[in-house]
Amino acid sequence: MSTLIQAHRGAPSRLPENTLESFSLAIEQKADFIELDVHLSKDGEIVVAHDAKLERVSNGCGFINDLTLKELKLLDFGKTAPEGEAGSRVYRMPLLSEVFALVKASALSVNIELKCIERLYPELPEKLLALTSEYAMDDRVIYSSFNHYSLQQLKKLNASAKTGLLYELGMVDPWVYANYVNAYAIHPHYYVIAALPETVKYCHENGIAVNVWTVDDADAIKLMLKCGVDSIITNKPDLGVACRDEFKKGETDAGK
Instruction: Return the active site residues.
Output: 8, 50
3-state secondary structure (DSSP) of residue 242:
helix
Identity (one letter) of the amino acid at 47?
A: V
**Burial of 125: CB neighbours in 10 Å, binned 0-12, 13-18, 19+:** buried
How many CB atoms neighbour CB 130 within 10 A? Answer: 11
Containing 243, the helix (H) or strand (E) segment is helix 237-254
What is the C-alpha separation between 9 and 255, in angstroms, rounded?
A: 36
Size of the chain, expressed as the number of residues it contains: 256
What is the C-alpha separation between 236 and 102, in angstroms, rounded?
A: 20
